[in-house]
Structure 1
Amino acid sequence: MNIPTAFKAEKVLGNGVPSIAFLAEYDALPGIGHACGHNLIASSAVYSAIRSAEKIKNGTITVFGTPDEEGSGEWAGSKIIMAEKGAFKGIDLVLGSHPGDRWSVGEQSLADLDYEITFRGKAAHEAANPDNGRSALDAAILTYTAVNMMRQHVRRDVNFVMHGIIKEGGTASNVTPEKAVLTYGIRTSDIDYHKIVVDRFMKIVEGCASATETTYKVKEIGLMYSTTKINKTLSNNIRERLLAKGIECPTLEETLSRIPEGSTDFANVSQVVPALEVQFKIAKEGTPWHSRESLEAAKSNEAKEALKTMIEVLSDTAEEFSINPEFRNGVKKDFLKGK
């Protein structure tokens, strides 16, 4: 796949069947470090794979190194690239984990795609000959206002989120801005409705350009992040393991009733292979993520203890998957339901 900082490590045991993969993330946040806990995600993946290899007699254990989950570089959303290029072909199960402020199984995520809109107008002196000017900034402001109006008229059940900024809007107050640039992120928990909202957004952009007699270009920024395909059999199995260890973990139904809080490229993996990312608690509920508080939590004793639990739970799940055909079939059946 030619992703410079990605990797694949594999160990074949016995007949090599089934094939189970663990996903490691390891990119840090600029200026703050591991405030998203990717140090723990990487450790969980590697050591869960090692423990699985110690427990399993027949199977193939793989660790995929998946860089730039935070979406800031050339290989942003690397799991999406890997999924689209067939990296997970032949894998029967993918397991992952992510630290947070609670324990949960089966978190839903938001479909997300970002856009950059560039309007072009015509520069003119704002006092001497304003009639010759066509303001790209007017087009940008009109778009921004129209998007705010659209927010009132979308479905409430799809967790619609649309966030944007005006990046560029002119160079001098006495010159009609001939260029303006906006960026927008559009998220929903319904992948089909996401397409509908994007279409409405494009109509807004077109209409605002027409109204201001400007031109425009639209560029997609990055990759399309999918929603998560939920696997009930897998989620319930891992929840039972957590409960057996005395950990309070809400039911899958309770978890899914929460409003999704973000987007992840792990979701795209769940669309091509049975997969689950388990959230494990390292901080008190309500702790803001990508913050100094979450940075401290990621290196705390609580995090280390939660990591130990996560390693045992994931490796035990992998072991059962390797020896229990009923469990394997249930996971596969749940995955195929959505196809």
Structure 2
Amino acid sequence: MAHDLFETHRKDLHDLSDTIWHNPELAFEERAAHDSITDFFVKAGIGTVTKNYLLETAFKVEYVTGKGSNKNTDKKEIPCVAFFSEYDALPGIGHACGHNLIAVVGVAAFLKLIVALDQIGILARVVLLGSPGEEGGGGKIWLKQKGALEGVDLALMSHPASRTLCLNTITQSIKRLKATFHGENAHGTTPWRGRNALDAAVLAYSNINALRHWMHPSMRAHGIFTDGGKAPNIIPDRAELLFYFRAPNKRELQPLLDRAEECFKAGAAATGCTVQIREQSVAYDSVVQNPVLGRIYEERMEALGYKFPPKTERPFRGSTDMGDVSRVVPAIHPWFRIPCNNAPGHSVPFAEAAKSDDSFVSAMDSADGLAYTALEVLKNKELFEEMKKTFTETWNS
């Protein structure tokens, strides 16, 4: 891979990762991260930068390669690669999902690819999409619905983890539901005069636990109480549960959501309360890793010294709105190992690991893997066609 432009800005990328890590922002509030990344491109004079692209904290950077041969070419005829950057944080524990690293992986992959394509004179559109709100907000889904993927031929991004993974990983579809129970206040010494909303929520929580006997091992349900009353001597007239439900894909998720809704309603009915069930996110679909892109990425990362688990091993790796992207265009969403002492994502130790120099090095290696993957399919028409063919076969099977 060509490194000149990337090496010129390597320290800038390290500083950018640090800045985002030290200033965590929640979903759709990532104004400082948005400005830091887009200002980098504007200052460097690289590509066409569109701030606040379709969403307030999203952005788009576009660069057409080919050393001027593109001036009279219809954009629709030019192959287009999209990289994604994420940069939102988690409540209370900052960048415990390492989105500071994901942000700069996208930038670095973009820089590496445009240089390589320019050097060999390949005509292509290279796009970097800044996608906010991955943690529950479905930023990529909103961008997709607003047309951000129109004309895109392949999409790539990668994610830090305790292991290096790609083709054999399993992600899950996810939906977040909030159930708010409404009852009637009474003094704690005369509970029969009230309707205990907390009892309703406790029963609903227990119902979900009982539901686990029905759930397939590939499904998940995890929830918390977000409101349980104000004082022990006041019968609560309001209580609230927040639950995440997961399944292998959206089709299999829906029956689980239907059963969960009945569990919430049953808790309310048993206590004489009412319940309001609200969606807290759009449903994410599971990721479909394109086998051609994944094969190239794995080969490149192995050449850089990274090890992948046996193909027979099928580890779970949470949920991501990149799943919906992978069902529109050929895509990969691999995981790259950072030195986190096997700490799980969404933990304080993982957040600490995400700011280390060694983790930044791993992120840059993954960026190299993504850029190399895109370069190979753009250089080789047969690979490009195989990528599209396997994508089509996925949906016809």
Using structure 2 for the length normalisation, give the TM-score: 0.76
Higher mean displacement: 19-28 or 281-290: 281-290
Q: Deviations over 1:73-122 (max 9, x none)?
A: xxx33112112222111100111111122211133222111111112223
Instruction: Name the residue aligned to 2:49.
Output: none
Deviation at 1:39, TM superposition (A): 2.5
CA contact (8 A) 1:41 1:97 kept: yes
- Describe how 1:1-339 pairs up with structure 2 within 5 A: 2-14=54-66, 15=70, 17-30=78-91, 32-56=93-117, 57-71=122-136, 76-106=137-167, 107-128=169-190, 130-156=191-217, 158=218, 160-251=219-310, 253-254=311-312, 257-258=314-315, 260-284=316-340, 286-339=342-395
Question: Which amino acid in the other structure matches residue 115 of structure 1?
Answer: L
Task: Give, in whole Å, the separation in 2 of the partners of 1:48 and 1:334.
Answer: 24
Q: Equivalents in 2 of 1:176, 1:305: separation in Å?
A: 55
Structure with the bigger percentage of strand: 1
Give the direction of change, closer, same or farther, for the CA distance of 1:328–1:165 in structure 2 (3 Å limit). same
**Residues 178, 105 of structure 1: alpha-carbon distance in 2 compared, 3 angstrom cutoff:** same
Letter in 2 for 1:64: L
- TM-score by length of structure 1 reads 0.89
Number of residue pairs aligned between Structure 1 and Structure 2:
329
**For residues 124 and 291 of structure 1, what CA distance do their matches in structure 2 show?**
40
Aligned residues of 2:226 and 2:240 also touching (Cα < 8 A): yes
Give me the whole-angstrom Cα distance separating, in 2, the residues matched to 1:170 and 1:300: 41
Report which stretch shifted further, 164-173 or 115-124. 164-173
- Cα distance in 2, alignment partners of residues 142 and 35 from structure 1: 32
Q: Distance in 2 between matches of 1:270 and 1:304?
A: 26
RMSD: 2.2
Corresponding residue of 2:32: none
Q: Tell me how far apart the structure 2 counterparts of residues 70 and 149 of structure 1 sit (CA, whole Å).
A: 28
Separation in 2, partners of 1:284, 1:103: 12
CA distance in 2, matches of 1:232, 1:325: 16
1-side partners of 2:128 and 2:61: how far apart?
5
- Partner SS for 1:249: coil
Query: SS where residue 55 of structure 2 aligns?
Result: coil
Higher relative CO (CA 8 A, sep ≥ 6), structure 1 or 2? 1
> What runs of 5+ residues in structure 2 fail to find an aligned partner?
1-52
